[in-house]
Structure 1
Amino acid sequence: MPSSECFKSQCHWRMFSLGHTSPSDFYVSCWQSGRSAVPLLSLRCFLFLYSLSTLVTSMIFTPVTLDISVDFWFIYLTHWAFLLIVLTTGSSVAVSACVYFDEPIDATFGLPWYVKTYWVLYNISIPVSFMITVFYWCLLRTSADREVKYAPNPVLDVMLHGVNSVVMLVELLASAHPSRLLHILHPLYFALVYVLFSVTYYNAGGLDPWGHSFIYPVIDWSKPQQTMVVVTLTALFLALMHILTVGIATVRDMIARKCFRDSTGVYNDGFDA
Protein backbone atom coordinates (compact mmCIF):
# COMPACT_ATOMS: atom_id res chain seq x y z
CA MET A 1 0.00 0.00 0.00
CA PRO A 2 1.42 3.45 -0.88
CA SER A 3 2.52 5.51 2.09
CA SER A 4 -0.07 8.21 1.37
CA GLU A 5 -2.93 5.68 1.40
CA CYS A 6 -1.49 4.07 4.54
CA PHE A 7 -1.43 7.47 6.25
CA LYS A 8 -5.00 8.21 5.19
CA SER A 9 -6.20 4.85 6.50
CA GLN A 10 -4.64 5.54 9.88
CA CYS A 11 -6.26 8.99 10.06
CA HIS A 12 -9.72 7.55 9.50
CA TRP A 13 -12.17 8.32 12.30
CA ARG A 14 -12.51 4.64 13.24
CA MET A 15 -8.86 4.63 14.34
CA PHE A 16 -9.79 7.07 17.12
CA SER A 17 -12.33 4.60 18.41
CA LEU A 18 -11.97 1.67 20.78
CA GLY A 19 -13.52 -0.85 18.44
CA HIS A 20 -11.93 -4.14 17.45
CA THR A 21 -13.38 -7.04 15.49
CA SER A 22 -11.53 -9.79 17.38
CA PRO A 23 -12.27 -9.52 21.13
CA SER A 24 -10.25 -12.68 21.86
CA ASP A 25 -7.11 -10.62 21.20
CA PHE A 26 -7.65 -9.05 24.62
CA TYR A 27 -7.30 -12.29 26.54
CA VAL A 28 -5.32 -14.64 24.26
CA SER A 29 -1.61 -14.05 23.74
CA CYS A 30 -0.28 -13.75 20.22
CA TRP A 31 2.27 -16.46 21.17
CA GLN A 32 -0.22 -19.26 21.85
CA SER A 33 -1.92 -21.49 19.32
CA GLY A 34 -4.93 -22.30 21.53
CA ARG A 35 -7.75 -20.01 22.64
CA SER A 36 -7.44 -20.57 26.39
CA ALA A 37 -7.35 -17.48 28.63
CA VAL A 38 -5.20 -19.27 31.24
CA PRO A 39 -1.67 -18.52 29.91
CA LEU A 40 -2.18 -14.77 29.65
CA LEU A 41 -4.23 -14.70 32.87
CA SER A 42 -1.34 -16.35 34.75
CA LEU A 43 1.21 -13.88 33.39
CA ARG A 44 -1.03 -10.91 34.09
CA CYS A 45 -1.65 -12.05 37.68
CA PHE A 46 2.11 -12.13 38.24
CA LEU A 47 2.59 -8.65 36.76
CA PHE A 48 -0.28 -7.27 38.82
CA LEU A 49 0.91 -8.77 42.10
CA TYR A 50 4.44 -7.51 41.50
CA SER A 51 3.22 -4.01 40.60
CA LEU A 52 0.83 -3.85 43.55
CA SER A 53 3.48 -4.98 46.04
CA THR A 54 5.95 -2.43 44.66
CA LEU A 55 3.36 0.33 44.89
CA VAL A 56 2.48 -0.49 48.50
CA THR A 57 6.16 -0.74 49.42
CA SER A 58 6.85 2.64 47.86
CA MET A 59 3.92 4.32 49.63
CA ILE A 60 5.07 2.96 53.01
CA PHE A 61 8.85 2.98 52.64
CA THR A 62 9.38 6.38 50.99
CA PRO A 63 7.64 8.60 53.60
CA VAL A 64 9.19 6.65 56.51
CA THR A 65 12.72 6.75 55.07
CA LEU A 66 12.61 10.44 54.14
CA ASP A 67 10.62 11.37 57.24
CA ILE A 68 7.96 13.19 55.21
CA SER A 69 4.18 13.10 54.97
CA VAL A 70 2.70 10.43 52.71
CA ASP A 71 0.81 13.26 50.97
CA PHE A 72 4.01 14.18 49.12
CA TRP A 73 4.04 10.73 47.51
CA PHE A 74 1.12 11.79 45.32
CA ILE A 75 2.77 14.84 43.72
CA TYR A 76 5.33 12.95 41.63
CA LEU A 77 4.80 11.83 38.05
CA THR A 78 6.70 8.60 38.73
CA HIS A 79 4.12 7.60 41.32
CA TRP A 80 1.21 8.62 39.09
CA ALA A 81 2.69 6.44 36.35
CA PHE A 82 3.24 3.47 38.64
CA LEU A 83 -0.31 3.77 39.94
CA LEU A 84 -1.36 3.60 36.29
CA ILE A 85 0.67 0.41 35.89
CA VAL A 86 -1.19 -1.15 38.81
CA LEU A 87 -4.53 -0.11 37.30
CA THR A 88 -3.47 -1.43 33.88
CA THR A 89 -2.25 -4.81 35.11
CA GLY A 90 -5.25 -5.07 37.43
CA SER A 91 -7.71 -4.35 34.63
CA SER A 92 -5.90 -6.84 32.37
CA VAL A 93 -6.39 -9.50 35.04
CA ALA A 94 -10.07 -8.54 35.23
CA VAL A 95 -10.50 -8.94 31.45
CA SER A 96 -8.83 -12.37 31.43
CA ALA A 97 -10.62 -13.49 34.60
CA CYS A 98 -14.04 -12.52 33.22
CA VAL A 99 -13.43 -14.81 30.26
CA TYR A 100 -12.01 -17.64 32.38
CA PHE A 101 -14.80 -17.62 34.98
CA ASP A 102 -17.68 -16.51 32.77
CA GLU A 103 -17.62 -16.68 28.98
CA PRO A 104 -15.79 -15.21 25.93
CA ILE A 105 -16.26 -11.51 25.31
CA ASP A 106 -19.26 -10.62 23.18
CA ALA A 107 -18.46 -7.66 20.96
CA THR A 108 -21.66 -7.77 18.89
CA PHE A 109 -22.51 -4.26 20.01
CA GLY A 110 -18.93 -3.15 20.63
CA LEU A 111 -16.36 -4.05 23.23
CA PRO A 112 -17.56 -4.07 26.87
CA TRP A 113 -16.66 -1.05 28.99
CA TYR A 114 -14.12 -2.94 31.07
CA VAL A 115 -12.20 -3.99 27.95
CA LYS A 116 -12.18 -0.41 26.68
CA THR A 117 -10.99 0.80 30.10
CA TYR A 118 -8.11 -1.66 30.01
CA TRP A 119 -7.22 -0.62 26.45
CA VAL A 120 -7.06 3.09 27.35
CA LEU A 121 -4.93 2.39 30.44
CA TYR A 122 -2.68 0.16 28.32
CA ASN A 123 -2.29 2.92 25.72
CA ILE A 124 -1.25 5.38 28.42
CA SER A 125 0.91 3.23 30.67
CA ILE A 126 3.34 1.81 28.12
CA PRO A 127 4.68 5.02 26.53
CA VAL A 128 4.52 6.88 29.86
CA SER A 129 6.57 4.13 31.54
CA PHE A 130 9.18 4.27 28.78
CA MET A 131 9.31 8.05 29.10
CA ILE A 132 9.65 7.92 32.89
CA THR A 133 12.64 5.60 32.66
CA VAL A 134 14.49 7.76 30.13
CA PHE A 135 13.42 11.04 31.76
CA TYR A 136 14.58 9.94 35.21
CA TRP A 137 17.94 8.36 34.43
CA CYS A 138 19.02 10.75 31.67
CA LEU A 139 17.63 14.07 32.87
CA LEU A 140 16.38 14.19 36.43
CA ARG A 141 19.19 12.30 38.17
CA THR A 142 21.83 14.41 36.41
CA SER A 143 20.17 17.77 37.13
CA ALA A 144 18.69 17.24 40.60
CA ASP A 145 19.99 19.15 43.58
CA ARG A 146 22.04 16.88 45.84
CA GLU A 147 19.80 17.99 48.68
CA VAL A 148 16.86 16.34 46.96
CA LYS A 149 16.80 12.60 47.62
CA TYR A 150 14.58 11.08 44.98
CA ALA A 151 16.00 7.62 45.70
CA PRO A 152 15.57 6.70 49.39
CA ASN A 153 16.49 3.14 48.48
CA PRO A 154 18.51 2.07 45.39
CA VAL A 155 16.49 -1.14 44.89
CA LEU A 156 13.16 0.66 45.08
CA ASP A 157 14.60 3.33 42.81
CA VAL A 158 15.29 0.77 40.08
CA MET A 159 11.90 -0.88 40.56
CA LEU A 160 10.05 2.43 40.11
CA HIS A 161 12.18 3.87 37.32
CA GLY A 162 13.49 0.82 35.49
CA VAL A 163 11.49 -2.33 36.11
CA ASN A 164 8.35 -0.29 35.48
CA SER A 165 9.22 -0.26 31.78
CA VAL A 166 10.06 -3.96 31.83
CA VAL A 167 6.62 -4.79 33.26
CA MET A 168 4.83 -2.83 30.56
CA LEU A 169 7.12 -4.19 27.83
CA VAL A 170 6.20 -7.73 28.91
CA GLU A 171 2.50 -6.81 28.78
CA LEU A 172 3.02 -5.32 25.32
CA LEU A 173 4.92 -8.31 23.94
CA ALA A 174 2.54 -10.88 25.41
CA SER A 175 -0.67 -9.21 24.21
CA ALA A 176 -2.36 -9.55 20.84
CA HIS A 177 -4.67 -6.53 20.62
CA PRO A 178 -3.60 -3.58 18.46
CA SER A 179 -1.79 -0.37 19.30
CA ARG A 180 -3.01 2.43 17.06
CA LEU A 181 -1.24 5.58 15.98
CA LEU A 182 -4.20 7.83 16.68
CA HIS A 183 -4.44 6.51 20.22
CA ILE A 184 -1.50 8.81 20.84
CA LEU A 185 -4.12 11.16 22.29
CA HIS A 186 -4.51 8.94 25.36
CA PRO A 187 -0.98 9.38 26.78
CA LEU A 188 -0.95 13.04 25.74
CA TYR A 189 -4.19 13.69 27.64
CA PHE A 190 -2.63 12.08 30.69
CA ALA A 191 0.47 14.27 30.33
CA LEU A 192 -1.74 17.35 30.02
CA VAL A 193 -3.54 16.45 33.24
CA TYR A 194 -0.23 16.21 35.11
CA VAL A 195 0.99 19.53 33.66
CA LEU A 196 -2.23 21.22 34.79
CA PHE A 197 -1.78 19.65 38.22
CA SER A 198 1.80 20.93 38.51
CA VAL A 199 0.74 24.45 37.50
CA THR A 200 -2.14 24.41 39.97
CA TYR A 201 0.11 23.04 42.71
CA TYR A 202 2.67 25.80 42.10
CA ASN A 203 0.07 28.61 42.02
CA ALA A 204 -1.50 27.27 45.21
CA GLY A 205 1.85 27.63 46.97
CA GLY A 206 2.64 23.93 47.05
CA LEU A 207 6.17 22.88 47.97
CA ASP A 208 8.17 19.71 47.62
CA PRO A 209 9.28 17.84 50.78
CA TRP A 210 12.45 19.96 50.96
CA GLY A 211 10.72 23.32 50.72
CA HIS A 212 11.29 24.03 47.03
CA SER A 213 8.57 25.71 44.99
CA PHE A 214 8.83 23.03 42.31
CA ILE A 215 8.00 19.33 42.14
CA TYR A 216 10.88 18.59 39.79
CA PRO A 217 13.80 21.01 39.29
CA VAL A 218 13.44 20.76 35.51
CA ILE A 219 9.75 21.72 35.76
CA ASP A 220 9.95 24.94 37.75
CA TRP A 221 7.03 27.25 37.00
CA SER A 222 8.90 30.20 38.50
CA LYS A 223 10.84 29.93 35.20
CA PRO A 224 7.89 29.56 32.80
CA GLN A 225 9.76 29.88 29.51
CA GLN A 226 12.36 27.30 30.43
CA THR A 227 9.70 24.98 31.83
CA MET A 228 7.50 25.26 28.71
CA VAL A 229 10.48 24.19 26.60
CA VAL A 230 10.97 21.14 28.82
CA VAL A 231 7.24 20.33 28.77
CA THR A 232 7.07 20.63 24.98
CA LEU A 233 10.13 18.45 24.43
CA THR A 234 8.78 15.91 26.92
CA ALA A 235 5.44 15.81 25.07
CA LEU A 236 7.25 15.21 21.78
CA PHE A 237 9.31 12.45 23.38
CA LEU A 238 6.14 10.89 24.79
CA ALA A 239 4.67 10.91 21.29
CA LEU A 240 7.83 9.20 20.05
CA MET A 241 7.43 6.53 22.75
CA HIS A 242 3.88 5.90 21.55
CA ILE A 243 5.09 5.48 17.98
CA LEU A 244 7.75 3.10 19.28
CA THR A 245 5.02 1.14 21.07
CA VAL A 246 3.01 0.85 17.85
CA GLY A 247 6.12 -0.29 16.01
CA ILE A 248 6.92 -2.95 18.62
CA ALA A 249 3.32 -4.24 18.47
CA THR A 250 3.53 -4.49 14.70
CA VAL A 251 6.83 -6.40 14.75
CA ARG A 252 5.45 -8.61 17.53
CA ASP A 253 2.49 -9.64 15.40
CA MET A 254 4.59 -10.20 12.31
CA ILE A 255 6.97 -12.52 14.16
CA ALA A 256 4.12 -14.36 15.92
CA ARG A 257 2.38 -15.01 12.61
CA LYS A 258 5.56 -16.37 11.05
CA CYS A 259 6.22 -18.60 14.08
CA PHE A 260 2.75 -20.13 13.88
CA ARG A 261 2.61 -20.04 10.06
CA ASP A 262 -0.73 -18.32 10.34
CA SER A 263 -1.91 -16.76 7.11
CA THR A 264 -5.21 -15.59 8.59
CA GLY A 265 -6.00 -12.51 10.57
CA VAL A 266 -4.35 -9.11 10.31
CA TYR A 267 -1.25 -7.43 11.61
CA ASN A 268 -1.46 -4.83 14.34
CA ASP A 269 -3.74 -2.23 12.79
CA GLY A 270 -1.63 0.65 14.05
CA PHE A 271 0.25 0.20 10.77
CA ASP A 272 -0.88 -1.46 7.57
CA ALA A 273 1.50 -4.31 6.87
Structure 2
Amino acid sequence: MGVTKQYFKDQFRVDKLTLNHEETSDFYVSCWQTDQSPLYLLCVRLTVFLGCASVFIASMVLSSQSFSLKFWPIYMTHWGVFMIMATSGLALIVSIVACIQGSIDLDFGLPWYVRLYWAFLVITVPLAYYITIFYYSFLTALIEDFAVDPALDFFVHAFNSIAMFILLITSKNPVHILQFVYPFVFAVIYMVFSIIYYYSGGTNPYGEEWIYPMLDWSNPGPTTGVVFACAALMLIVHSLVVLMALFRDYLVSTCITSKRNSINIVQY
Protein backbone atom coordinates (compact mmCIF):
# COMPACT_ATOMS: atom_id res chain seq x y z
CA MET A 1 0.00 0.00 0.00
CA GLY A 2 2.89 2.31 0.80
CA VAL A 3 4.37 1.73 -2.65
CA THR A 4 1.08 2.63 -4.34
CA LYS A 5 0.71 5.78 -2.25
CA GLN A 6 4.25 6.83 -3.08
CA TYR A 7 3.65 6.16 -6.78
CA PHE A 8 0.62 8.44 -6.93
CA LYS A 9 2.36 11.08 -4.85
CA ASP A 10 5.24 11.03 -7.29
CA GLN A 11 2.99 11.00 -10.35
CA PHE A 12 1.11 14.14 -9.39
CA ARG A 13 4.19 16.32 -9.15
CA VAL A 14 4.09 19.21 -11.59
CA ASP A 15 7.51 18.31 -13.01
CA LYS A 16 5.94 15.20 -14.56
CA LEU A 17 4.61 17.53 -17.25
CA THR A 18 8.02 18.90 -18.20
CA LEU A 19 9.34 15.92 -20.19
CA ASN A 20 12.43 15.62 -18.04
CA HIS A 21 14.02 12.24 -17.48
CA GLU A 22 17.23 11.09 -15.86
CA GLU A 23 18.20 8.33 -18.28
CA THR A 24 18.44 8.91 -22.02
CA SER A 25 18.98 5.22 -22.79
CA ASP A 26 15.35 4.63 -21.83
CA PHE A 27 14.47 6.20 -25.17
CA TYR A 28 16.69 4.11 -27.44
CA VAL A 29 17.41 0.83 -25.62
CA SER A 30 14.72 -1.82 -25.56
CA CYS A 31 13.36 -2.78 -22.18
CA TRP A 32 13.68 -6.44 -23.16
CA GLN A 33 17.46 -6.46 -23.63
CA THR A 34 20.16 -6.68 -20.99
CA ASP A 35 22.87 -4.78 -22.87
CA GLN A 36 22.92 -1.14 -23.98
CA SER A 37 23.03 -1.55 -27.75
CA PRO A 38 20.54 0.72 -29.56
CA LEU A 39 20.64 -1.50 -32.65
CA TYR A 40 17.84 -3.86 -31.62
CA LEU A 41 15.31 -1.12 -31.06
CA LEU A 42 16.49 0.62 -34.22
CA CYS A 43 15.47 -2.44 -36.25
CA VAL A 44 12.06 -2.56 -34.57
CA ARG A 45 11.46 1.14 -35.09
CA LEU A 46 12.57 1.03 -38.71
CA THR A 47 10.04 -1.73 -39.37
CA VAL A 48 7.26 0.16 -37.60
CA PHE A 49 8.09 3.40 -39.40
CA LEU A 50 8.06 1.75 -42.82
CA GLY A 51 4.67 0.25 -42.00
CA CYS A 52 3.27 3.57 -40.77
CA ALA A 53 4.67 5.49 -43.73
CA SER A 54 3.14 2.92 -46.09
CA VAL A 55 -0.26 3.36 -44.43
CA PHE A 56 0.04 7.14 -44.73
CA ILE A 57 0.87 6.95 -48.44
CA ALA A 58 -1.82 4.34 -49.12
CA SER A 59 -4.39 6.43 -47.29
CA MET A 60 -3.58 9.47 -49.43
CA VAL A 61 -3.55 7.54 -52.70
CA LEU A 62 -6.69 5.46 -52.13
CA SER A 63 -8.61 8.37 -50.63
CA SER A 64 -7.83 10.47 -53.69
CA GLN A 65 -9.65 7.87 -55.78
CA SER A 66 -12.86 8.38 -53.80
CA PHE A 67 -12.86 12.09 -53.00
CA SER A 68 -10.80 15.23 -53.34
CA LEU A 69 -7.71 15.23 -51.14
CA LYS A 70 -8.72 18.61 -49.75
CA PHE A 71 -11.09 16.63 -47.52
CA TRP A 72 -8.40 14.22 -46.31
CA PRO A 73 -7.20 16.41 -43.39
CA ILE A 74 -10.67 16.96 -41.91
CA TYR A 75 -10.88 13.50 -40.33
CA MET A 76 -9.33 12.73 -36.96
CA THR A 77 -8.47 9.28 -38.31
CA HIS A 78 -6.16 10.93 -40.82
CA TRP A 79 -4.68 13.15 -38.13
CA GLY A 80 -3.93 9.88 -36.37
CA VAL A 81 -2.39 8.37 -39.51
CA PHE A 82 -0.05 11.35 -39.74
CA MET A 83 0.75 11.22 -36.03
CA ILE A 84 1.70 7.53 -36.00
CA MET A 85 4.00 8.12 -38.96
CA ALA A 86 5.55 11.17 -37.28
CA THR A 87 5.90 9.40 -33.93
CA SER A 88 7.50 6.29 -35.40
CA GLY A 89 9.74 8.55 -37.50
CA LEU A 90 10.88 10.47 -34.43
CA ALA A 91 11.50 7.20 -32.60
CA LEU A 92 13.63 6.07 -35.52
CA ILE A 93 15.59 9.33 -35.49
CA VAL A 94 16.35 8.92 -31.78
CA SER A 95 17.61 5.39 -32.41
CA ILE A 96 19.70 6.45 -35.41
CA VAL A 97 21.36 9.24 -33.42
CA ALA A 98 22.07 6.81 -30.58
CA CYS A 99 23.59 4.30 -33.02
CA ILE A 100 25.79 6.94 -34.67
CA GLN A 101 26.96 8.53 -31.42
CA GLY A 102 26.99 5.36 -29.34
CA SER A 103 24.76 7.08 -26.78
CA ILE A 104 22.83 10.31 -26.25
CA ASP A 105 24.36 12.85 -23.91
CA LEU A 106 22.38 14.15 -20.93
CA ASP A 107 24.73 16.96 -19.90
CA PHE A 108 22.19 19.63 -20.88
CA GLY A 109 19.08 17.57 -20.24
CA LEU A 110 17.14 15.55 -22.76
CA PRO A 111 17.85 16.75 -26.31
CA TRP A 112 14.96 18.50 -28.02
CA TYR A 113 14.38 15.67 -30.48
CA VAL A 114 14.06 13.15 -27.63
CA ARG A 115 11.57 15.42 -25.87
CA LEU A 116 9.66 15.85 -29.11
CA TYR A 117 9.51 12.09 -29.62
CA TRP A 118 8.35 11.57 -26.04
CA ALA A 119 5.63 14.22 -26.40
CA PHE A 120 4.44 12.69 -29.66
CA LEU A 121 4.42 9.22 -28.11
CA VAL A 122 2.28 10.20 -25.12
CA ILE A 123 -0.14 11.85 -27.54
CA THR A 124 -0.22 9.21 -30.24
CA VAL A 125 -0.51 6.01 -28.21
CA PRO A 126 -3.80 6.99 -26.52
CA LEU A 127 -4.92 8.72 -29.73
CA ALA A 128 -4.44 5.50 -31.70
CA TYR A 129 -6.46 3.48 -29.18
CA TYR A 130 -9.08 6.22 -29.04
CA ILE A 131 -9.52 6.17 -32.82
CA THR A 132 -9.80 2.38 -32.84
CA ILE A 133 -12.40 2.36 -30.06
CA PHE A 134 -14.35 5.29 -31.49
CA TYR A 135 -14.46 3.88 -35.01
CA TYR A 136 -15.39 0.31 -34.19
CA SER A 137 -17.87 1.38 -31.51
CA PHE A 138 -19.69 4.18 -33.32
CA LEU A 139 -18.86 4.29 -37.02
CA THR A 140 -18.85 0.69 -38.23
CA ALA A 141 -22.58 0.93 -38.92
CA LEU A 142 -21.68 3.66 -41.43
CA ILE A 143 -18.79 1.70 -42.93
CA GLU A 144 -20.03 2.16 -46.50
CA ASP A 145 -19.64 5.91 -46.15
CA PHE A 146 -16.37 5.92 -44.27
CA ALA A 147 -14.44 2.93 -45.61
CA VAL A 148 -12.56 3.88 -48.77
CA ASP A 149 -11.11 0.38 -48.99
CA PRO A 150 -11.63 -2.61 -46.64
CA ALA A 151 -7.91 -3.28 -46.26
CA LEU A 152 -7.11 0.40 -45.78
CA ASP A 153 -9.96 0.60 -43.30
CA PHE A 154 -8.16 -1.92 -41.11
CA PHE A 155 -4.80 -0.23 -41.40
CA VAL A 156 -5.98 3.28 -40.55
CA HIS A 157 -8.28 2.22 -37.72
CA ALA A 158 -6.63 -0.87 -36.19
CA PHE A 159 -3.02 -1.09 -37.36
CA ASN A 160 -2.43 2.31 -35.78
CA SER A 161 -3.05 0.80 -32.34
CA ILE A 162 -0.86 -2.21 -33.10
CA ALA A 163 2.02 -0.01 -34.24
CA MET A 164 1.85 2.23 -31.19
CA PHE A 165 1.55 -0.80 -28.92
CA ILE A 166 4.80 -2.12 -30.38
CA LEU A 167 6.56 1.20 -29.81
CA LEU A 168 5.31 1.33 -26.24
CA ILE A 169 6.14 -2.21 -25.13
CA THR A 170 9.58 -2.31 -26.74
CA SER A 171 10.80 0.93 -25.17
CA LYS A 172 11.62 1.96 -21.64
CA ASN A 173 10.30 5.49 -21.72
CA PRO A 174 7.71 6.19 -19.03
CA VAL A 175 4.16 7.45 -19.40
CA HIS A 176 3.03 9.64 -16.51
CA ILE A 177 -0.51 10.21 -15.32
CA LEU A 178 -0.30 13.99 -15.64
CA GLN A 179 0.76 13.62 -19.25
CA PHE A 180 -2.92 13.14 -20.07
CA VAL A 181 -2.70 16.87 -20.77
CA TYR A 182 -0.90 16.21 -24.06
CA PRO A 183 -3.50 13.97 -25.77
CA PHE A 184 -6.28 16.01 -24.18
CA VAL A 185 -4.97 19.25 -25.71
CA PHE A 186 -4.57 17.48 -29.05
CA ALA A 187 -8.22 16.39 -28.90
CA VAL A 188 -9.31 19.91 -27.96
CA ILE A 189 -7.42 21.28 -30.97
CA TYR A 190 -9.32 18.89 -33.23
CA MET A 191 -12.65 19.87 -31.67
CA VAL A 192 -11.87 23.56 -32.16
CA PHE A 193 -10.93 22.80 -35.75
CA SER A 194 -14.25 21.00 -36.31
CA ILE A 195 -16.17 24.01 -34.96
CA ILE A 196 -14.24 26.47 -37.12
CA TYR A 197 -14.65 24.17 -40.11
CA TYR A 198 -18.41 24.00 -39.60
CA TYR A 199 -18.95 27.73 -39.12
CA SER A 200 -16.75 28.54 -42.11
CA GLY A 201 -19.09 26.49 -44.30
CA GLY A 202 -17.01 23.35 -44.57
CA THR A 203 -18.60 20.04 -45.54
CA ASN A 204 -17.58 16.42 -45.76
CA PRO A 205 -16.86 14.84 -49.18
CA TYR A 206 -20.56 14.07 -49.60
CA GLY A 207 -21.73 17.65 -49.13
CA GLU A 208 -23.04 17.19 -45.59
CA GLU A 209 -22.33 19.80 -42.91
CA TRP A 210 -20.71 17.41 -40.47
CA ILE A 211 -17.36 15.64 -40.49
CA TYR A 212 -18.68 12.78 -38.37
CA PRO A 213 -22.43 12.29 -37.88
CA MET A 214 -22.15 12.53 -34.11
CA LEU A 215 -20.03 15.69 -34.44
CA ASP A 216 -22.75 17.77 -36.07
CA TRP A 217 -22.48 21.36 -34.83
CA SER A 218 -25.85 22.23 -36.35
CA ASN A 219 -27.14 20.40 -33.26
CA PRO A 220 -24.81 21.90 -30.63
CA GLY A 221 -26.57 20.39 -27.61
CA PRO A 222 -26.12 16.69 -28.41
CA THR A 223 -22.75 17.37 -30.02
CA THR A 224 -21.47 19.07 -26.87
CA GLY A 225 -22.50 15.99 -24.93
CA VAL A 226 -20.57 13.83 -27.37
CA VAL A 227 -17.52 16.06 -26.94
CA PHE A 228 -17.59 15.64 -23.16
CA ALA A 229 -18.03 11.89 -23.55
CA CYS A 230 -15.08 11.78 -25.95
CA ALA A 231 -12.98 13.80 -23.50
CA ALA A 232 -13.79 11.30 -20.76
CA LEU A 233 -12.91 8.44 -23.11
CA MET A 234 -9.56 10.04 -23.90
CA LEU A 235 -8.76 10.30 -20.18
CA ILE A 236 -9.73 6.66 -19.67
CA VAL A 237 -7.61 5.53 -22.60
CA HIS A 238 -4.62 7.51 -21.33
CA SER A 239 -5.02 5.85 -17.94
CA LEU A 240 -5.01 2.46 -19.64
CA VAL A 241 -1.81 3.39 -21.47
CA VAL A 242 -0.22 4.32 -18.13
CA LEU A 243 -1.24 0.91 -16.77
CA MET A 244 0.16 -0.79 -19.86
CA ALA A 245 3.50 0.93 -19.34
CA LEU A 246 3.52 -0.11 -15.69
CA PHE A 247 2.66 -3.69 -16.60
CA ARG A 248 5.41 -3.65 -19.23
CA ASP A 249 7.92 -2.55 -16.60
CA TYR A 250 6.68 -5.22 -14.21
CA LEU A 251 6.98 -7.97 -16.82
CA VAL A 252 10.44 -6.81 -17.85
CA SER A 253 11.62 -6.69 -14.27
CA THR A 254 10.23 -10.16 -13.58
CA CYS A 255 11.59 -11.72 -16.77
CA ILE A 256 15.06 -10.21 -16.50
CA THR A 257 15.34 -11.14 -12.82
CA SER A 258 14.25 -14.69 -13.62
CA LYS A 259 16.74 -14.89 -16.48
CA ARG A 260 19.60 -13.68 -14.30
CA ASN A 261 18.69 -16.16 -11.57
CA SER A 262 18.67 -18.97 -14.13
CA ILE A 263 22.10 -17.93 -15.41
CA ASN A 264 23.47 -17.81 -11.87
CA ILE A 265 22.10 -21.29 -11.15
CA VAL A 266 23.67 -22.70 -14.32
CA GLN A 267 27.00 -21.05 -13.56
CA TYR A 268 26.89 -22.35 -10.00
State the TM-score, normalized to the length of structure 2.
0.93
Matched with 2:262 is none
Separation (CA, whole Å) in 1 of partners of 2:116 and 2:101? 19
Paired residue type of 2:256: F
Q: For 1:131 and 1:93, locate their aligned partners in 2 and report how far apart those are by CA, in whole Å.
A: 24
Matched, 1:163 2:143: no
Distance of 1:261 and 1:17 partners within structure 2: 31
Pairwise CA distance, 1:254 = 0.9
Q: CA separation of 1:170/1:221 partners in 2, compared to 1, >3 Å: closer, same or farther?
A: same
Aligned to 1:100: 99
**Which residue, out of 236, 240, 254, partners 2:236?**
240
Give the RMSD, CA atoms, in angstroms.
1.3
In 1, the alpha carbon distance for the partners of 2:8 and 2:87 equals: 29
- Residue 138 in structure 1 maps to residue 137 in structure 2: yes
Secondary structure at the residue paired with 1:261?
Answer: helix
Q: Give unpaired runs (5+ residues) of structure 2.
A: 259-268
Structure 2 residue 16 is the aligned partner of structure 1 residue 15 = yes
Partner of 2:181: 185
Residues of 2 paired with 1:109 and 1:74: CA distance? 37
What's the counterpart of residue 208 of structure 1? 204
SS at match of 1:189: helix
Superposed counterparts of 1:1-273, under 5 Å? 1=2, 4-64=5-65, 66=66, 68-142=67-141, 144=142, 149-261=145-257
Q: Which amino acid letter does the alignment assign opposite residue 97 of structure 1? A: I
Q: Deviations over 1:61-89 (max 9, x none)?
A: 1121x1x2111111000000110000000
CA distance in 2, matches of 1:168, 1:5: 29
- Shift of residue 36, structure 1, vs aligned partner: 0.4
CA drift of 1:114 comes to: 0.1
User: Per-residue CA shift, 1:217-252, capped at 9, x if unaligned?
Assistant: 010000111011111111111111111111011111
AA aligned to 1:168 is M
> What is the one-letter code of the residue matched to 1:236?
A
| Comparing 78-87 and 101-110, the one that deviates more | 101-110
1:8-55 Cα deviation digits (max 9, x unpaired)? 322112211111111100000100011000000000000001110111
The change in CA–CA distance for 1:132 and 1:224 in structure 2 (over 3 A counts) is: same
Q: Distance in 2 between matches of 1:127 and 1:224?
A: 26
Q: Comparing both structures, which one devotes a greater share of its residues to helix?
A: 2
Work out the percentage of aligned pairs sharing the same amino acid. 37
Q: SS at 2:33's partner residue?
A: coil
1:37/1:100 contact within 8 Å kept: yes
- Cα shift at 1:198: 0.2
Contact 1:140 1:218 (C-alpha < 8 Å) held by counterparts: no
Give the counterpart letter for 1:34 in structure 2.
D
Following superposition, the deviation at residue 7 of structure 1 comes to 2.9
* Number of residue pairs the alignment of both structures matches: 257
CA distance in 1 between counterparts of 2:51 and 2:194 reads 29
Distance 2:168 2:5 in 1: 28
**TM-score (norm: length of structure 1):** 0.91
> 1:124–1:218: structure 2 CA closer, same or farther, 3 Å change rule?
same
Q: What residue identity is the alignment partner of 1:10?
A: Q
CA pair 4-173 structure 1, distance change in 2 beyond 3 A: closer
| Letter paired with 1:35 | Q
- Cα 1:57–1:106, aligned 2, differ >3 Å: closer, same or farther? same
The residue identity in structure 1 corresponding to 2:151 is V
| Mapped partners of 1:87, 1:216: distance in 2 | 24
The 8 Å contact of residues 23 and 105 in structure 1, kept in 2 or not, is answered as: yes
